[in-house]
Every structure is written in C-alpha cells, then in structure tokens.
A and B are shown apart, each in its own frame.
Chain A
Amino acid sequence: MSNLVTALNGASDANGIATITEVPLQGMITLRGDLSKAAIKTAATTAAGVDMPGQSQANMNGASGITWMSTDELLILCPYGDVAANLATMTKALAKTHALAVDVSDARASFTVSGPNARDVMAKLVPVDLAKGSFEPGMFRRTRMAQVAAAFWMTDADTFQIVCFRSVADYVFEVLKIAAQPGSEVDFL
C-alpha cells in the first residue's frame, strides 16, 4: 500500500561524524517458545532463511535474519511484505506447540548509524563496551539507549542497526544526531 509510512518517513542526517538513516519498513515477528524445541527452530529458520543464532547473537542475511532476544524469545526479520505469509506458516507449524508468534513490524522504528565514527556515536548513548573486538558483527545487544530501551547489532564493520519502539523514533533520531554532532569524535574505541 502506498500509504504505509515509517515513524519518521525515512529521515536521514549526514551532517555529523556518522550518517543516521531511518530504515524502511522492516518485517519483524516476535516468536516466543522453548528455543530448544525442533518445531520452534524450524518455524524460525524457515521464515528467516538463516540458522538459529546463539545466545545474544544475530544471524542476518540482508533484510532477513533472526536475533536472540531472550531465553524464550526470538525476533525474526523478513521483508515487510512477507510477514503475513510467514506468520500464517509459522502459526500452522506451531499449532501443537506452546508458542506465540506475533507481528511487531509496525511497533518498531529502525535506524542505521554508519561511518568510521559509528562506534563513537553509539558509545555516547549505550552503556555497552563497543570497542573493536568487544562488539562485532554477529553480536546482538538489548540495552538502554539514552533514556529508552533499544536493541542493536552491526551489519558491517562500520554500521550499526538499531531497533526501538516506534513512539520514540523521533527521540532516538534526535539523540543520535546530537551524539554525532560535528567535532565530537572521541577516537577511543
């Protein structure tokens, strides 16, 4: 539908020491269940087309992937248009398993922070060790970003992808811009 809009309509800012861009609508499915069960694993990997991630890991392949949210929760990423079909397939496959699969694509906003100073920008807002070697692509972290909950992973050596609640998209975009203000390189990480 042409009237689908993200929270900030694709806002972007490249005036600072890193580029901040709102990601287009991203399909997201919360899947809760016993992660050791074959049915859960199959449902997740079939929908996302990637292997199960380990604890605090993200297995990504472009716009698809699985992130480890908790001991009994995954976030499955897929193209926005595929969510309904994936949900239907998962619900059917999990009919006999205690599980909850629900569309949360619209409940979220997502941003990328990219460029050589991306680590600096992120480390101003999250209480996480983001030094090279401590945080690398493949890892996934849920934490506090300034004053709101957020999760992030790295899509390459210079790019973070952040997921937050849709209602605070403006707040997150604004604090990222402040953290990336010109002249604010830290050069520590």
Chain B
Amino acid sequence: MLILTCPCCGVTAEETEFHAGGEAHLKRFGPGSDNADFENYLFMRENPKGVHFERWRHNNGCGKWFYAARCTMTLEVFGTYLAQTYEPPADLCAKISAKRPGWSWGRFS
C-alpha cells in the first residue's frame, strides 16, 4: 500500500486516505473538436512501464486534487505537485531524469 505526500496540506499518509484519479495532464476537447482529438481526450491513455504522471485526490483529508510522478515498476514516487498546472514542474522532471535517464511520457520527457 502506497504512501503519498499531499502537496496541498503537507500530510504524508497511506493510500486509503487518497483516491486515484487516472492520468494527469489531459487536455480537454469540447464541442467543435475533431473526432481524433476527442477520441484521444476521452479514451486514449498512457500505459507506461516506468515513469507515469497521475492524478490523486486527498479525499479523506483536505479534499484537494494533486498530481504525482510515480514509477509503475518500482512504485517509487518521484514527487507530488499542485494540480493547477499544464505540465510537470521542471525541477521534478530534472529529478526524474537523474533517476531514469531518457524517460519520456506523452508529450513530456
């Protein structure tokens, strides 16, 4: 069972305090978008063996959503960060690069 640190309230807690919310950094496509973009938004998901970015909600705590960078192989959590962003923070990406040289995920690397 994972432990995660909520970047909003600073609490480090076990997984039962959180709720997993799928892939992070999805770009929403609404009315007027073409079929391919909408399909990608609605259905297509990363399924990496390694570095992954995902959404979590601290639902039994402060109630806030946040993002986590995690290795799906080793379960190492590289870091968590606020959800009000379109991309992972640069310092986190650098930290991941140090540990997993050459990683890439979606449009990030």
Contact = CB atoms under 8 A, between A and B. Distances in A.
Q: Is there a contact between chains A and B in the complex with CB atoms less than 8 Å apart?
A: yes
Interface of A: 55-56, 69-71, 73, 127-128, 141-144, 149
B67 to A, nearest CB: 15
Contacts of A70: 8-9, 62-64
20 contacts: A55-B9, A56-B9, A69-B63, A70-B9, A70-B63, A70-B64, A73-B62, A73-B63, A127-B13, A127-B17, A128-B13, A141-B11, A142-B9, A142-B60, A142-B62, A143-B17, A143-B60, A144-B16, A144-B17, A149-B60
Give chain A's interface secondary structure class: strand
Contacts of B10: 55-56
Given A143-B61, A144-B60, A71 B8 contact: yes
Given A71-B64, A142-B62, A127 B11 contact: no
Main secondary structure of the interface of B (DSSP, over half): loop
Contacts of B16: 127, 144
Interface in B16-32: 16-17
Contacts of B60: 142-144, 149
A178 B9 CA distance: 31
A83 B60 CA distance: 26
The 4 A-B residue pairs with the shortest CB-CB distance, nearest first, are A70-B62, A144-B60, A142-B61, A127-B14
B14 A56 contact: no
Interface residues of B, number: 14
B45 to A, nearest CB: 28
B3 to A, nearest CB: 10
Nearest to A145: B60
B75 to A, nearest CB: 18
Contacts of A71: 8-9, 62, 64
Nearest to B10: A55
Nearest to B82: A71
B58 to A, nearest CB: 8
B82 to A, nearest CB: 9
Contacts of A149: 59-60
B14 to A, nearest CB: 5
Nearest to B15: A127
A148 to B, nearest CB: 9
A182 to B, nearest CB: 28
Given A56-B11, A69-B63, A70-B9, 4 more contacts: A55-B9, A56-B9, A56-B10, A144-B60
Contacts of B63: 69-70, 73
A149 B17 CA distance: 9
A166 B14 CA distance: 25
